Amino acid sequence: MKEMSFGGEKMTLRRYPWLKYADDLHVEQLQAYEEGYDTQGLEAEIAAIQALEASEPEREERAGQLLDRTAQLPRRSGYAYREPSDLEGIQLERPDLRFPVMKAPTGRQLYDKLYGAWLGRSAGCLLGQPVEGWKRERLHGFLKETGNYPLQSYMSSDVPEALIGKYEIINEGQVYGSSFINWINNVRHMVEDDDMNYTIIGLSILEKYGFDFTPDDVADSWLMNLPILRTCTAERVAYKNLVNGIEPPRSASCRNVYREWIGAQIRADFFGYANPGHPEKAAEMAWRDASISHVKNGIYGEMWVAAMLAAAAVTDDIERIVQAGLAEIPKQSRLAEDIRTVLSWRREGIGWEETIERIHLQYDEHKSHHWCHTNPNAMIVAMGLLYGDTDLQKSIGLAVTAAFDTDCNGATVGSIVGMILGAQALPEKWIAPLNDKIVSGVDGFGLVKISELAERTATIVSANPYVQI
């Protein structure tokens, strides 16, 4: 072991891959540049660090020191975006027009919408999970050769031998608690996924800490209920920071090259579920959650989705729902600009295939920083909603067909459409394979009925003092 300086504090470096920084320094270079910092000279320094042997302690020590310095880099002149991470700063930078607070549905209608959101999220996640990480060429080829383009059904590994070899189809492989890749022929209920774990932990946070929970409460809930190996990228770095005594909001930024990646956006849903008709409160709760692991556009993605879900409980106007989310994030942010771009393409009559092509031209799926960044995936979510015609199959199908982070985007789109339609209106072909059950890696849940999660959510909504009943 080696004691290192850790952003001004001391930590002990153990020989675990999630405590290492050097391999992803190129992500920091891109991230810092996109945030408007002057990154001249970083490329040569990164190359020198990465040229060191992986076993050499100096490699990680120098990498950590570089990350500490990039946080202090000067801004480039002419940077056009205004992107605060604190709640007050974010709210000051929002558009002037707010989505009005509206009365929430009640009784059976409320339960049906919440159940629909849980089911839709599960279906979209399950659709995208077996092809997560596939690039567009491989995914589209597989879909077309199996007669499933555009997507009309869950994907199966039960395909001709020639396709198994051509597209490298496998069944065995560790995915959270499962030892199988979750093709539809391998599942008997909704499987564990980080997208669903975070929705469940949102429920746990509200049940334990109430409506005025803090970022510290979120941090405590993770440490108590979510093993570190069930977290990824920004969440794993934040988890490590928390364990080492680095508290929110610094836990989000300290040596976290993934600070604008999609992790917070996939944690948004429960805060939208809990605040039907009140997008502003949903977004504010989402900020409390996001701020422990993300900054700037990483935070905005979670606020945008939470606000959309709160709006989706009271309107079926998709563009209005997307705008309700935009109303809660800085209008001069990169995320707002990207989502407005998708809205403009739709208004111009650009088709969904061309829209997907344009997203891929703007962001390179072969760069890990782009593949997992909030912004391109939010563009795909907006595309799936705007072109999906409030149809679950079409909406989640488009979100997954676009590639990038397939299970995350399918889950978010399915959640919003499920909220709009309600459980009773969802097609049986997408819901039946779930068998009303989900496996969770969150402590205290295990194998639980999805309908029970919806009931517990409805109980929370009914007690929410911020919601109009």
Calculate helix-pair angle for 352-362, 392-401, nearest 10 degrees: 30
| Burial annotation 83-111 (CB, 10 A radius, 16+ → b, else e) | bbbeeeebbebbeeeebebbebbeeeebb
Closest listed residue to residue 98, CA positions, set 374, 283, 333, 271 = 283
Tokens representing 398 are 């488009």
User: Dihedral, CA atoms, 238, 243, 244, 246, nearest 10 degrees?
Assistant: 50
Chain center to CA of 215? 18
Burial status of residue 437 (CB atoms within 10 A of its CB: 0-12, 13-18, 19 or more): middle
Helix (H, G, I), strand (E, B) or coil at 9: strand
Q: Residue 44: how many CA atoms within 13 Å on its side-chain side?
A: 2
| 21: nearest Cα among 260, 242, 240, 244 | 240
Q: Is 391 annotated as a binding residue?
A: no
- Expressed in percent and rounded to 5, the helix, strand and coil fractions of the chain are 60, 5, 35
Q: Cβ contacts of residue 158 below 8 Å, gap of 6+?
A: 183, 185
Query: What are the beta bridge partners of residue 119?
Result: none
Q: List all residues 6 or more positions away from 229 whose beta carbon is below 8 Å from its beta carbon.
A: none
Residue 31 CA to its chain's centroid (Å): 17
405 annotated ligand-binding residue: yes
Tokens 């077996």, residue located: 130
* Distance from C-alpha of 263 to C-alpha of 291, rounded to nearest angstrom: 11
Name the residue type at position 25. L
Secondary structure class of 62 (helix, strand, coil): helix
What contacts 139, CB < 8 A, 6 or more positions away? Answer: 131, 401, 403, 406
| Cβ pair 30, 367 in contact under 8 A | yes
* 273 CB-near residues (< 8 Å, 6+ apart): 114, 117, 202, 309, 419, 457, 461
Q: Give yes or no for a contact between 66 and 46, defined as CB atoms under 8 angstroms apart.
A: yes
Residues whose CB is less than 8 angstroms from the CB of residue 62 and which lie 6 or more positions away in sequence, other chains included: 22, 49, 52
**Coil, helix or strand at residue 369:** helix
Binding-site residues for Mg(2+)? 405, 407
Binding-site residues? 405, 407
